[in-house]
Structure formats: structure tokens, C-alpha cells
Structure 1
């Protein structure tokens, strides 16, 4: 305890010093805290504090900086607009001097500068919009200036009337620059003039050469080349140009129509036109110290390709259509002489290719002349069909007998044969001559001529029934003539393979197997139409005969006689269509037989009258007296057989009933017992006897005999 007290007392002095030092530090800290409070109070004072002062200074600095930036942007905009104005200030000078290309560059540069605005404010400003609109107007002014320059450079003179039949194109090499339409910034500038090549250069580099020179392109084609080619024998080509473009003021080319005054050398004239285009319009081989030759050479190539190629191709098409096609020979002997024309055409095409107007792929003229044999056949086909149409539509129906056309017919035989029209003869001759020409052509061309003959037959089948429909329907003789014509043409076509043993080049066989049946079917169709019409008329004639009632009365007999003569007239009109004649005559004879068998009381006078009426029909037998080559079915008739009995099965019965009307009762029974009346049924024969003869024991006896049936025929043919 004492020890602790001793230590405490021993450190008291040090403790006392430390305590005093602590009090000093406290006083200093209190002073610092007081100063800090004072400083804080000064900084945070809302009116005079340092914070408010700093904030105010920062606001002032920001406002000043914004104004400075605005002023900088304005200065940049003014510099930007000044650059654009400097660029556009050259525009009027270039336009007045006709330097369209430089003026265009000014506008392009100004537009590009406007797009590169230094800031968004300048880009959206009213001045920028105004300058952009001004550039647009200036661009339109350049386009209008180009149109005006071209209008001043190219002058077209069109024919006014028959006394002024000249078309002329004049190109001025010195072109006056028109005044600008918009207000000028400088009143001192005056318009000048430019040369033709400078205008072409501007058109080419501004890529508007096709658009601006299209009228010139069309005029060269339509107003110069087209009439020159179509009317070359009446056209005079005049060209006025200078050997030196540098000193030349203008150049011109004209076409004057003077009937009969043309030089006739079409290909030379056409070539001269293209030489003029190349040298005087496109300025081929032009050179001058003041002009870049290489640049203009490329311009010439552009003009030749985009303008000249179109003109050249149109010219070749016109030559092919209006000269080469027209001069294609119409005769096989003239075909070899076409080589001169072909050579001249290909020479022209070679020159156009060498001049750059055409390429090897554009050889239309060579393609045409190398296929001249095909064009010849096409021309021959058109001519053939044109002539054939004239023959088919002809109203001349002169006839000729077939035996006079067929060399195989024995001239010593006197055979009455069918007749055909001279028109059918002409058509057959046209077909055969065309096939003969085909034999001397190439394998490519010959089949075309063969097809042309088929087209001619098709034209005949299509046109004849339409063009002559009224005549074929109303005139029996023409219907039969048409039938004969079709059969004759079909027969001649059947002979073609035998006539052309060697065929024609390019074809294994020349035949018309598909056409021949169609021709025959057409003949039958129209014959059937006429036959039906005549059948109706025949039946009407029999109806008009009133079933031959009271034929003993003179007035009745005269009426019946007219009806029977009309029937005979119809048959004579029908000619030699034996199958048709036979069918109609068979129907007529059956109807007459039926009418006679239905008569119940025939006086002796009526009997003679009826026999006379029936006798009129015997004139129809003459129609079957010989078989011409066009008589269908005549080959089926036996040599010892009468054709009328073959084609008219009821004819023998008709002859017999006519005889019965004139025979005595005894003569009728004699024929009956001889088996010569076998064509009649027993009842038919009995009714006729009852009508012709009065009732007597003899009639009853004979009727009983007839009822027993026909005796065995002694001699007759069964048909």
C-alpha cells in the first residue's frame, strides 16, 4: 500500500504537466471549431455565401459558352453558305458560254456541299432549303438549255406539198446559246455560242444523249431511210458537208422524191447515209488541239452504239421487207440471178459492222439472202395462193371434158365422159408445176412448195363452198360440176406419187392421202344437199301430177306432162353422178308405179296417155349410156350389164308397167306365161288388169291363171 502511494506521488509532477498541456489543446480545438463554424456560416449563407457565388459564376459561364457556340455555328454556317454561293456564282458564266457540262458540275458540287452541313441547325435552316430549291431550278434550266441548244443546232425541213417533196436535216456546228430565263446576279454576262462537238460531249457525259437525240434518231429512220428504201427508184439523196469540221459552219442531208430520177443503187445510197451520220453528226476521226481526241472518240462510240445501232438495225429490217423480199424471184430460172443482189446486201452489212453500227449478231441481211430459197418458196406460196384464190372465186364456169385432159385415154375411142370446170384444170396445173419446181430446190425449200400445194387444196375446200354457196345450192348443174371438180382434183392428186418417182428433195414421199378423202367427202356433202333439194322437187312434181287421175282429160294430161318433163330436166341437170341419179330415179319410178297401181279404172285413152307420160322418163336412160372417169361406182357394173339397171333397181319394172299400159290383154298374158312379168307380185298384176280391162269371162279366166303364180322364167336376170 505504502509502495503504491510512493509511486503515485513520484508521478504527480508528470501528470500535472500533461493535464496542463491537455487544457491548452482544448483551448486551441475550441478556437478551430469556432473558426470552422464561422467559415461554414460564410459559405452557406443564402445571400452572400461562397456557394451561391460559385453557382452564379457557373451559370454565367454556361450562358456565355452557349452564346459563343451559337456564334461559332453562325460563323460556320456563313462560311458554308459562302462556299455554296461561290460554287453557284460560276453557274451563270458557264451557262452563258454554253459550257453545260461545267454548269452541271457546279450544281452537283453545290448539292453535295449542301448535304455536308457543319451542324444540324444549318442543315434544317431556311437558307439551306432555299439553296436546294435553287439547285433544282438550275438543273431544270440546264435540261431546258440542252433542249434549246439542240433545237438551235438541228433543223428539220418537211415536205409541204407536192411541189416541195424534199425532206432535209441541217446541223449547225456553231450554236448560239439562248438567254437564261431566270434573273441574273450579274448583268454584265452576255450569251455566247458553242460548237456541235461540245454539245455532244455534254449530252454524253450527262448521260442524256439517248433522250435528247431520239427525235434525230427517229427522223433519220422514218423520214430519210424509210422513204429512201421504199421508193429508192424515185429518190435522190443529197449530202452537203465540209472536209474540215474546224472551219465548217453546218452540214446537211436531204431526200428529194422525183419519180423516175432515182439512181437505182439502193445499197450505195444507204451506205452514204451512214457515212454522213458517222462523219458529220458523230464526228468520227475529228481532232483539234483544243479538244481531247481520246475523249471524243469514246463519245463517238457511245453515239454509234446507242443511236446508230438502232438506226442501222431499222434500216436492215426495211431493206429486208421492202427491197429484198420484193425482189425475190417468182420464177425458178431467175433465182440464180439473185446472187448480185445478195452480194450487194452483204457488202452493205459488212461496212456497217466495220463502222461499228452493227455487230456480227445483227446480220439480218445475210440471214435473209442465205435463206433465199426459203423466201422464194414463201413468195411462191403467196403467189400461188393469190392466183389460186382468183381462180376459185371466178364466176366463169367454162367446162372441158375429162377425156381431153387425160393422156391415158385412147383418142380413137368415142366415149362421152364427164366434164370439169376450167378452173379445176387450172388448179391441177398449178399444183403440178409447183411440184415440178420443188424438184430443183434444196432440201430445206422443197417441202415448203409441197406444203404450198396442200394449202392451195385447203383453200379450195374452204373457199369454194363459201364463196359460191348460193350457186351451189340453187343451180343443180353447178353442184354437179363442183362434185366433178372435187373428184377430178382428188384423182389427179392420187397420181402424184407415180408422177414423182424420184420424189422431191427433203421428202421421202409426196402424197395427199389425208386430203383426197376430205375432197371426196366435200363433193359428196354438197351433192347430197343438191340431191335432197332435187328429191323434194321431184316428189313435188309427182304430187302435182295428182297421181295421174283422169289423165284422159287434155288439161290434166298437159299438166301431168309438164310435171314429167320437169323430172327429166332435173335428171339432165344432175349429170353423171350415177349413184345419185340411180337413187333418185329409183324413187321416182317407184312412186309412179305406185300411183299407176292405185288407179282403179283406166280407159283406153287414159292408158295411151299414161304410157306417153311414162315414156317421157325414158330420156333419163341417156344419162347412163357411158361411164366417164369421174362416175363413182361405174367400175362395179359388169360389161354385159346395162348401167341403168344396176343403179335403178326398179327400172325394169317401170319399163314393164309402161308396156302393160299399151299391150293387149293377149300380149300381157303371153309375157306372163313367158315369165317376163316376174317383177310384179301376183296381186299387183291382177289389180292392173282389173283397172285396164272390163270384167269378162276372159278376164276372170286370166286372173285365175295369174293367181296360180308366175311360171318359171324362161330367161331373165335377177337384180
Structure 2
């Protein structure tokens, strides 16, 4: 080896030793610095011994100094040592490894110092009420804490710094929220604490320079602005906007100090204000907000009032449409012009103002849709009101009745009886039916049913003067009334219809009365309605008529059961002349007659004459059939029993005649004919009375070889049975029995 080579080799070895020594010294410094930063961070954020700790600025200087030494060592290794070809590869590798380790430690130390510096900056800014600066520092610290360090995720001081960052963030949010409440304060109280007849809501907006702007910016940075706006929007709706929209007594006052006061009267069912008044009150509130928030923007440059509008506009507009505009829709076509002037035009102007203020976006068309669909909304409301009114009529009491007769065949309806009668005459003359085809028999109906038909006629009358779309919907509203009749009427009055015969009769008449009109009402309005409407109600008639007849039949069955229970006390009419049997039998017959008399009182003025006689006749027929069957089946009838039976049956015969009379009768009534017409077994009943009072010869004469009146009502076996029960076994009886066959 030459001398030059030896010199260079020795120089390289010396320089390597020098670098190794510097690296060892640098490693020792970094260990000391790491320990110092750890103790500072732990003491401040874990043990909270802040009075014994070194200032952060000194630590920063030390880190920067060590970082400089590390940078010099790196350059020395890369620029000088690598040029020494004689330096061994192993030494170079070791030096580079030490350098990388020290570099990683330095990155961690710098990260910790940056986090601590941001936390201290945030705390200092918070004390100066520089909320935006504090929020930005906390956000930076949070980002640094959220950036992972490979292999060092479990450092204890990082968890302490994370906790400190969360604490400072919550503290900042709390302080900003309290400051927000001081600047935007709400209050509500009863103006009259004793009667609580009025309530006052107040919003006070206090000026605070740039503080509110700082709060808004900081809240947006921390992601808390949305929840704050949401709470603010809820109070705006509940305390200010809603009282103005739903209560006509609401008054709004605003002062130069940006104080909004809304006063309302406490009412159980508040009445919505006119749309013009409502819009004025709402705009007063929005103008105060616009004045207060005019210079405030969020980070993307959006006006703060627009942010408030995004929170409340949808709910506010829905509230306006539902609670104020919809109830203001008129009930009649004639009021639509006034409604357009007082509601539609102010609505368009109100929406334009909100768009100009950017309180609502330009594509928000809730109010515009209401204006466009006003015709549809009008007819929908009209239909709903009609059905609601019809439902209330159906649920009203049935005992208020009115009389209808041939003089008022369609009832005393709206439009005058003369007009209705002329329509009836026109319809009657157009067909080939009899003169009684469209006559309504004299009877009584409930007043609510007459009012229901009046409502149907009024609805169809209005449909004839409406637009095609409205006419179609009004026609179906009229149809729906009668479909509703089938469901609501029997359900609402179910108990009364089953318990009281009078109510059953009234309901039966109501159904007949409704069907009477449904048969003609379609023809009356068919030519005046749109061509695509099949104006007919005839398909509803069978169901409604069946409702009435089923109710009446059910009541008749109930009365039959009552009378049969009475007749059960007669014990089959056996030995009716003996002691207790005589009393119980007489009582049973009188109870039946009393029940029939009661039904006569409640039915004769209500039911049509023919239907009344059929109803009473059906019940009376059931009674005579029961008595006849019992008497004919008796095996032994003594003379006293026969006399008692004849007396009781004659009592029924005597009382039956007046039962066939009604207060609606026109002229004299032949009760004998009516009894035979409406009581199928009446002649059988009278023949049995005759047999009970007759001798064998008289019975034989009435039999007349099977051609007499007795043979028409009783069979040969029944006559023989009665003869055997009434008469003793003699040659004469045997001869008579032989003739009856």
C-alpha cells in the first residue's frame, strides 16, 4: 500500500469515528429532549402541575436546535462519508439507521409540540373572545391528533392531548352558546297571570359588534352551527310564526332595539287570521331578522338569513298553507273573486319578497302550487265540507220529525215546494205509469234526513253552474253522501233502532223517503251536468231500502218475541177457568193487547197507513195464530173453559178493530175488511170463537158438508178435535163427527 493510500485510509477512519461520536451525542440529546417533552406534556395535561414546567417556547428552541444538528449529520453522511470509498459498508449502514431512528423521534416530538402550541393558542384566543381563531387552532390540533403515527399509536401523552382537545372544544362551544343566548334571547309569559287570557312571546336581538360573526364562524368551523340554527328555527316557528299563522288575535310589534313582541289571546279553538293580516305579521318578523343578520355570512359567502330560511322555510310554508290558506278557501263559487283579491294576489307578492330576501330558494314552489291548484283545492274542500256536514246530520237525533205527504211529495226542500212539485209533475207526465207513481204517502221522517236531501239538492244545483271538473267532483260528493248514509246512520243509532219501535219506524220512513228522491234526482239534473257523468242514483236504492226494511223487520221480530213471552204465561190455555190459570191467562191476553195499543200510539202517526196496518196486522196475526193453535190442540174443554176462552178471544176481537185505524186515514175505514186483509188468520180466529159458543147443530150447519165458512178456515180433523174436547160422547156427537170428513 502506498503512503497516500495509508493517509487517506487513516483520514476516513478518523472521520467515521468523528461522525459516530456526533451521532451518539445527538442521540443522547434527543433522549433528553424526549424525556423533557414527555414530562412537560404529562405534567400539564395529566398531572396538571403547570407551575413546575418549562415554557413551551424553550422546548421549541431545543427541538429546532436538535433538528439542525440532525440535518448537519445527515448532510455529512450523505456528502462526505459516502465519498470515502475506503469506509466500510457496514459502518455506513449503521450510521444511516441511527439517523433514521433519530429522525422518527424528532417527527414525533415536533408533532407533540405543534399540538400543544395549537391548544395553547386556542386557550389564549378563547380568553380574548377570538372564537374563530380558537376554533381554527382546535381544528388544527384535532387534525394532527387524528393523523396516525405508524408504530406510535399507543403513546400515553397523545391520549392526554386528545382529551385536552375535546375539553377545550366543548368549553368553547359552551361559551359560544351562552354568548349566543345573551345576544339572541327568548322569553314568554302570560300577560294576565290570573286569567291567563293572553300570552306574550318576545325575541330580543342584542348588537355585539363582531362577536356574533366570530361565533357563527367558529360554530361553522366546529360543525355546531347546524344544531344551533335548528334550535333557533324551532323557537322561531313555535313562538313567533305559528301564533301569527293560526290565531287571528295575534299582534306583532317591533322596536328600534330589534325586539319582536307577539301577543295572542289564549283560545281553545283559535280562528286563523285573514291571509293579508297573516302575511303582514310574518313579514314584520322576517324584516327584523333581515336587518339584524344583514352583514353576517358563513364561510362560503352565503347570507346568514338564507341559512335561517333553510331551517324554517319548509315548515313555515306548510304551516301557512295548511293552517291559514286552506281554511280561507271559500265554500261557494260566488266568493272566489273576493278570495282571489284577498288571498291569491298577496300570496304571490309574499313569495316574491321571500325569494328576493333569499329566505327561500327560487325553486321552492309550495305557495305557487297552492295558487295553481286553487280550483282543485276549492272543490276538494267543498266536497269535504259537504260530507262532514252530511255526517253530522246523520248522527243527529232521530226524534225530531216532520210530516211529508202528497201535498209536499218531495218534502219542503230548498228552492220551494212549487219548483219541486213542477219537476214531479213533469217527470210523472213523461212516463206511462199511474198517477200515483211519484206520490209519497203521508208519513213522518226525521228532520235530519230532510236536511240531508236538501244538502244533496243544493250540491247538485251548484254542480250545474260549476266548471266541468268541479261539477264531476260535486256530483260524486252527492253520491258519497248516500253511501255514507248506509254506513253511518245504522251505526250511529244502532241502540235506538233496536230498542225503540218509534225510531225503527222513523228510520224505515227515512230510507223510503231517500229512495223516493233517488229514483228521480238523477233525471232532474242529468241534462245540466257534463256529458261524461252518468247522473244516476238508482243503483243505491236497493241497499238503502233494504236497510229500512231490515230494521223494521228486526223490530217486528222483537215485538213478536215480547208478545210470545206474554202468551207463555197462559200455559197453553189449559183449564183457563180454574183459579190461578184464569188470572194468568187473562193477564197474558191483556198484556198483549196493551203492547199492541202502545205500538199503535207510536206507529200510527209515523208510518204510512198501508205500512202501519201491515205491521200491526202481522203482529196481531202472530197472536191469533198462537191462540188458535193452542185452543185447537186442547183435548178437553169444559163448559166454563169454553166460556172463558170465548170471552178472552172476544176481547181481542173487540180491540182488534180500532187497531186498524190510523190518524193518517182519509175518510171512514171498514175495519172488518182491513182485518181480513192484513190479518191472514183472522177468519179462522172468529170461526174458533163461534165454535166455542156454538152447539153441535150450529157447528154442523157452519160445516155444511165441507162447504161452509167453518170448512174454509179449519180442517176436518181440527173441527173433530174441538167437538171431542167440547162435547161429551153421545150418539148425536158421533153422528156429527161422522158427517165431518
TM-score (norm 1): 0.70
Deviation of 1:668 after TM superposition, in Å, equals: 4.2
Aligned mate of 2:277, from 242, 245, 265: 265
Instruction: Specify the alignment match of 1:531 in structure 2.
Output: 556
Alignment of structure 1 residues 290-309 onto 2, 5 Å: 299-301=301-303, 303-309=304-310
Instruction: Describe the shift of the 1:437–1:568 C-alpha distance in structure 2 as closer, same or farther (beyond 3 A).
Output: farther
Which string of whole-angstrom CA distances, capped at 9 and with x for unpartnered residues, describes residues 294-332 of structure 1? x7796443x344321332322222222222233333455
1:594 is matched with which residue: 626, 629, 634? 629
> Partners in 2 of 1:138 and 1:506 — Cα distance?
76
Larger Rg: 1
Identify if the C-alpha distance between structure 1 residues 90 and 591 changes in structure 2 by more than 3 Å, giving closer, same or farther.
closer
Q: Does structure 2 retain, via aligned residues, the 8 Å contact 1:480–1:577?
A: no
Kept in 1: contact 2:180–2:212 (CA 8 A): no
Distance change in 2, residues 1:71/1:276 (3 Å): same
Specify whether residues 369 and 520 from structure 1 end up closer, same or farther in structure 2 by C-alpha distance, changes over 3 A only: same
Alignment of 1:67 with 2:98, yes or no, is no
Unaligned runs of 5+ in 1: 1-34, 36-42, 44-50, 176-193, 242-249, 285-294, 630-640, 708-719
SS in 1 for 2:260: strand
Q: Which residue of 2 aligns with 1:363?
A: 365
Query: Following the alignment from structure 2 to structure 1, what is the Cα–Cα distance between the partners of residues 440 and 266?
Result: 60
Give the alignment partner of residue 236 of structure 1, picking from 223, 246, 251: 251
Give the CA deviation at 1:223. Answer: 0.4
Choose the corresponding residue for 2:186, options 136, 143, 156: 156
Question: What's the secondary structure of 1:500's corresponding residue?
Answer: helix
Structure 1 residues 659 and 282, CA gap change in structure 2 (3 angstroms): farther
Deviation (angstroms), 1:228: 1.6
Q: What is the aligned partner in structure 2 of residue 327 from structure 1? A: 328
Secondary structure in structure 1 of the residue aligned to 2:409? coil
Q: Alpha-carbon deviation of 1:167?
A: 1.9
Change beyond 3 A, Cα 1:553–1:396: same
1:219, distance to aligned residue in structure 2 (A): 1.7
Measure, in 1, the Cα distance between the counterparts of 2:660 and 2:439.
15
Aligned partners of 1:235 and 1:257 also within 8 Å:
yes
- Equivalence for 1:613: 648
CA drift of 1:460 comes to: 4.4
Q: 1:647-686 maps to which residues of 2 (within 5 A)?
A: 648-662=679-693, 667-673=698-704, 675-677=708-710, 678-686=712-720
User: How far is the alpha carbon of 1:225 from its aligned partner?
Assistant: 0.8
SS at match of 1:98: coil
Structure 2 residue aligned with 1:313:
314
Does the CA-based 8 Å contact 2:250-2:264 persist in structure 1?
yes
* Structure 1 stretch displaced more, 376-385 or 308-317: 376-385
1:331-360: CA deviation from partner (whole Å, max 9, x where unpaired):
554344322223222321232123222235
| Structure with the higher helix share, 1 or 2 | 2
Contact 2:136/2:218 (8 A) holds in 1 = no
Q: How far, CA to CA, are the matches of 1:468 and 1:457 in structure 2?
A: 16
Change (3 A) 1:468 1:114: closer
Q: CA separation in 1, counterparts of 2:142 and 2:715?
A: 119
Deviates more, 1:698-707 or 1:319-328: 698-707
Deviation at 1:415, TM superposition (A): 10
Indicate the SS of the match to 1:362: coil
Say which SS state the counterpart of residue 496 (structure 1) adopts.
helix
Residues 490 and 63 of structure 1: CA distance in aligned 2, closer, same or farther (over 3 Å): farther
State the partner residue of 1:634. none
Helix, strand or coil at the partner of 1:614: helix
Does the 8 Å contact 1:541/1:563 carry over to 2? yes
Instruction: Spell out the pairing of 1:124-143 with structure 2 (5 A cutoff).
Output: 134-143=164-173
State the partner residue of 2:419: none
Query: How far apart, CA to CA, are the structure 2 residues paired with 1:656 and 1:427?
Result: 50
TM-aligned CA distance change 1:79 to 1:201, over 3 Å? closer
1:432 aligns with 2:438: no
* 8 Å Cα contact 2:135/2:218 also seen in 1: no
* Equivalent residue, structure 1, for 2:56: none
Task: Tell me if the contact between 2:199 and 2:266 (Cα under 8 Å) persists in the aligned partners.
Answer: no
Give how far 1:224 is off: 0.7
Alignment of 1:323-472 (within 5 A): 323-339=324-340, 340-395=342-397, 397-403=399-405, 405-407=408-410, 417-453=442-478, 456-457=481-482, 459-472=484-497
2:608 matched residue in structure 1 = none
Which residue in 1 is equivalent to 2:588?
A: 563
What is the alpha-carbon distance in structure 2 between the residues aligned to residue 327 and residue 87 of structure 1?
60
- How many residues matched? 610
CA distance in structure 1 between the partners assigned to 2:258 and 2:389 by the alignment: 50
Counterpart position of 1:38: none
Cα distance in 2 for partners of 1:431, 1:467 equals: 20
TM-score (norm 2): 0.68
Instruction: Assess if the C-alpha contact under 8 Å between 2:463 and 2:529 holds in 1.
Output: yes
Q: CA deviation at 1:222?
A: 0.9
**CA 1:216–1:676 in 2, change beyond 3 Å: closer, same or farther?**
same
Give the superposition deviation at 1:226: 0.8
Indicate if the aligned counterparts of 1:568 and 1:616 stay in contact, CA closer than 8 A.
no
In structure 2, what is the equivalent of residue 255 of structure 1?
262
Which residue does the alignment assign to 1:24? none
Instruction: Note if contact 2:138-2:169 (Cα within 8 Å) is conserved in structure 1.
Output: yes
- Take 2:440 and 2:146, find their aligned partners in 1: how far apart are those partners? 106
Asked if structure 1 preserves the Cα contact closer than 8 Å seen for 2:440 and 2:516, the reply is no
C-alpha distance in 2, partners of 1:349/1:218?
21
